């Protein structure tokens, strides 16, 4: 297929082929290619290569590391059209969003690369003749697992953090959307990254994680995906005394206070919700809207959602593409049927579009009761759940009642409201008056079941390091 790359493993600086499984285009259910599955001996080779890669890369000057990483992102930026097309083919998101994801992945790695030059230690004053030096050293070989919803920026988060801190990495990217990782690795090969520093494998996810995580050379586990899998992998990492970064699901509340314009906020909300067809861990989902503006907000949101064009992401006229796989359609159907049975009103959407390709419209579920399954389980799709609240206190209490704690959004012009939200909402990231949950320079991650550790910012890079204190008594 034109514009869809050959899919290969990358181990110890060389590409490898293997038998595997088909990759499906969610827009029409056609087969795009075959993703190779790594054998046990491929994984052993990747481990050996990553150990050697770590020896070389951890002793490479940070400025040289930054130069190679930045060269790779320059190559990716030059290929943005081909890469975006491949991403839309395998994942479904509209081309414009695919381009933005690639740029975002590049920005993340470029920021990390420069910050990698500033992983400073400390000198702690001691008694005369004694010097305590605190060093931050790269942790070692990283085993990384990235999901299907962001085929480029999620691998970029992990590769950028690991390589900028001086670590080597074995990346198991998504088998459902593998092209982004293959193209990213290709750019690093061309940029001159030493062999073994960045290895790429695919396969049956549980077989790979259960084999790699206990290996003595693996020193850190990073996973982005669902809460149940995250709990399983962090338990496995804990059993082998490995630290982990867990970027798991969310169920983002949106606080719409009665001091904002309901129509303008609804318009922004519809666009925020439609991004990647809602298949985003930070997707705005539970809209707690204050009584005075609830009806106007619901009406405006419904109008905006109904006007949203849904279709093949390769057509620039479409604002929302298909869902990435059939599992998401089944989940939307189940959650909508449950909400309706409990008395919610579907003001637009609510039914699958067509029967070829995984299309589902932006769906507004108004007056949703608190006990609806969608209010407690992450929908991970284009459902906007609207709940009427009397006060900000009530909204905060409801928002905090789920085990998730990743991102939250609020719309208000009141400093008091903003302060209350900042103090009391249980999340890792709160955005007030906008829908951007993270950027390259800010720490991103969750609390409660949404995980631990951070990606991005100084805090993110520090997760790829260990602290060593050296006490030196001058002779």
| CA 30 and chain centroid, separation | 26
User: CB 413 → ligand NAD: shortest distance, Å?
Assistant: 31
Judged by CB under 6 A, the chain residues 379 through 408 that form the site for ligand NAD are: 380
Q: In the sheet that 122-125 helps form, which strands lie side by side, from edge to edge?
A: 122-125, 130-138, 465-473
By CB under 6 A, is residue 410 in contact with ligand NAD?
no
By CB under 6 A, is residue 456 in contact with ligand NAD?
no
Give the residue, chosen from 105, 160, 225, 456, that forms a contact with ligand NAD under the rule CB under 6 A.
Answer: 225
Residue 231: CB atoms within 10 A of its CB come to 14
| CA 148 and chain centroid, separation | 9
Give the residue, chosen from 281, 289, 310, 320, that forms a contact with ligand NAD under the rule CB under 6 A.
Answer: 281
User: By the 8 A CB rule, do 285 and 384 touch?
Assistant: yes
Helix (H) or strand (E) holding 132: strand 130-138
Q: Examine the residue annotation and report whether 257 is marked as an active-site residue of this protein.
A: no
User: By the 8 A CB rule, do 164 and 137 touch?
Assistant: no
Query: Which lies closer to ligand NAD via its Cβ, residue 143 or residue 392?
Result: 143
User: CB 172 → ligand NAD: shortest distance, Å?
Assistant: 7
Give CA–CA dist 381/446, Å, rounded: 20
| Binding track over 28-47 against ligand NAD, x by CB under 6 A | --------------------
By CB under 6 A, is residue 247 in contact with ligand NAD?
yes
Give CA–CA dist 124/192, Å, rounded: 38
Region from 48-56, 121-129, 147-155, 346-354 binding ligand NAD, contact rule CB under 6 A: 147-155
Considering only CA atoms, give the Rg of the chain.
Answer: 23
By CB under 6 A, is residue 152 in contact with ligand NAD?
no
Judged by CB under 6 A, the chain residues 363 through 382 that form the site for ligand NAD are: 378, 380
> Residue 253 — left, alpha, or beta (φ > 0 → left; ψ -120 to 50 → alpha)?
beta
Give CA–CA dist 56/192, Å, rounded: 13
Active-site option among 106, 167, 257, 281:
281
**Residue 456 structure tokens:** 């991005």
User: CB 235 → ligand NAD: shortest distance, Å?
Assistant: 11
User: CB 220 → ligand NAD: shortest distance, Å?
Assistant: 15
| Binding track over 283-322 against ligand NAD, x by CB under 6 A | ----------------------------------------
Helix (H) or strand (E) holding 24: strand 20-24
User: CB 33 → ligand NAD: shortest distance, Å?
Assistant: 17
Active-site option among 101, 110, 176, 247:
247
Dihedrals phi, psi of 188, to nearest 5 degrees: -70, -35
Question: What is the set of active-site residues?
Answer: 247, 281
Site residues for ligand NAD per CB under 6 A: 145, 147-149, 174, 205-206, 209, 224-226, 228-229, 233, 247-249, 281, 327, 378, 380
């Amino acid at each position: 297929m034109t514009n869809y790359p050959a899919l290969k493993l990358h181990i110890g600086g060389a590409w490898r082929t293997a038998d595997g499984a088909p990759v499906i285009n969610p827009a029409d259910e056609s087969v795009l290619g075959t993703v190779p599955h790594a054998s046990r001996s491929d994984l052993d080779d990747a481990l050996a290569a990553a150990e050697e890669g770590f020896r070389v890369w951890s002793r490479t000057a940070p400025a040289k590391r930054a130069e190679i990483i930045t060269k790779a992102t320059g190559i990716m930026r030059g290929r943005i059209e081909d890469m975006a097309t491949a991403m839309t083919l395998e994942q479904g998101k509209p081309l414009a969003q695919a381009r933005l994801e690639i740029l975002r992945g590049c920005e993340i790695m470029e920021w990390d690369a420069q910050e990698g030059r500033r992983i400073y230690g400390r000198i702690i004053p001691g008694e005369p003749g004694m010097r305590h030096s605190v060093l931050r050293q790269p942790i070692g070989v990283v085993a990384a697992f990235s999901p299907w919803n962001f085929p480029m920026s999620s691998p970029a988060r992990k590769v950028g953090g690991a390589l900028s801190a001086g670590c080597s990495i074995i990346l198991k990217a998504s088998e459902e959307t593998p092209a982004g990782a293959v193209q990213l690795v290709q750019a690093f090969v061309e940029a001159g990254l030493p062999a073994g520093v960045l290895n790429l494998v695919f396969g049956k996810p549980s077989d790979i994680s259960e084999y790699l995580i206990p290996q003595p050379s693996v020193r850190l586990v990073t996973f982005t995906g669902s809460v149940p899998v995250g709990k399983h992998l962090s338990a496995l990492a804990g059993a082998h005394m490995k630290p982990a970064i867990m970027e798991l699901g969310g169920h983002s509340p949106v606080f719409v206070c009665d001091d904002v314009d309901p129509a303008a906020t609804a318009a922004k909300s519809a666009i925020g919700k439609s991004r990647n067809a809602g298949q985003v861990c930070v997707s705005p989902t539970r809209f707690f809207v204050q009584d005075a503006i609830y009806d106007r907000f619901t009406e405006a949101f419904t109008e905006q959602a109904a006007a949203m064009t849904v279709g093949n992401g390769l057509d620039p006229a479409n604002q929302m593409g298909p869902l990435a796989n059939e599992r998401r359609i089944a989940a939307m159907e189940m959650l909508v049927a449950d909400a309706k049975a409990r008395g919610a009103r579907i003001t637009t959407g609510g039914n699958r579009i067509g029967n070829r390709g995984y299309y589902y419209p932006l769906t507004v579920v108004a007056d949703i009761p608190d006990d609806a399954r969608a209010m407690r389980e992450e929908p991970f799709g284009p459902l906007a759940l609207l709940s009427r609240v009397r006060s900000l206190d009530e909204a905060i209490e409801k928002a905090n009642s789920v085990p998730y704690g990743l991102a939250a959004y609020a719309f208000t012009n009141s400093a008091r409201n903003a302060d209350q939200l900042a103090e009391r909402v249980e999340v890792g990231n709160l955005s007030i008056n906008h829908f951007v949950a993270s950027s390259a320079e800010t720490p991103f991650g969750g609390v409660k079941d949404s995980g631990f550790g951070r990606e991005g910012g100084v805090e993110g890079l520090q997760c790829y390091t260990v602290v060593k204190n050296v006490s030196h008594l001058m002779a």
